[in-house]
Amino acid sequence: MARRSFEVRRIPGFGAIAILTIVLLYVPILILVTFSFNAGRSQAEWEGFSLQWYRAAFANEQVQDVSIRSLWLAIAAAGIATVLATLAALGTTRVGRFRGQTLIYALVNQPLMVPEVVTGIALLIFVASIKVATGYMGMGYLVAAHTAFCIPFAYLPIRARLETLDLNLERAAADLYASPVQAFRHITLPLLVPGIAAGFMLGFVISLDTVVITEFVKSAGQDTLPTYMLGQLRRAVTPEMNAIASLFLALSLVVVTAFFLVSRRRGA
Give a yes or no: residue 67 inside a domain. Answer: yes
Give a yes or no: residue 196 inside a domain. Answer: yes
Give a yes or no: residue 226 inside a domain. Answer: yes
**What pLDDT is attached to residue 2?**
54
Helices 225-235 and 61-93, interaxial angle, to 10°?
130
- Name the average pLDDT for the chain: 83
Give a yes or no: residue 123 inside a domain. Answer: yes
Q: What percent of the chain clears pLDDT 70, i.e. is strictly above it? A: 93
pLDDT digits (tens, 9 = 90+) for 4-20: 676 767 777 777 888 99
pLDDT digits (tens, 9 = 90+) for 81-106: 999 999 888 888 877 677 777 777 77
**Per-residue confidence at 111, pLDDT binned at 50, 70, 90?**
confident
Give a yes or no: residue 77 inside a domain. Answer: yes
Residues present in the chain in total? 268
Give a yes or no: residue 145 inside a domain. Answer: yes
Average pLDDT score over residue span 142-168: 87
Give a yes or no: residue 43 inside a domain. Answer: no
d(CA 7, CA 21): 19
Average pLDDT score over residue span 169-187: 79
**What pLDDT is attached to residue 136?**
87
Selection from 225, 216, 205 nearest residue 119 by Cα: 216
Would you say residue 252 has pLDDT above 90? no
In DSSP terms, 49 is beta-bridged to 38
Q: How many domains does the chain have?
A: 1
Average pLDDT score over residue span 234-259: 80
Average pLDDT score over residue span 24-48: 85
Give a yes or no: residue 147 inside a domain. Answer: yes
> Is 208 or 105 the better-scoring residue by pLDDT?
208
Question: Where in the sequence is the domain holding 81, given as residue range(s)?
Answer: 61-267
CATH of the domain at 89: 1.10.3720.10
Alpha-carbon 91 to chain mean position: 23
**What pLDDT is attached to residue 74?**
92
**What pLDDT is attached to residue 268?**
45
**What pLDDT is attached to residue 81?**
94
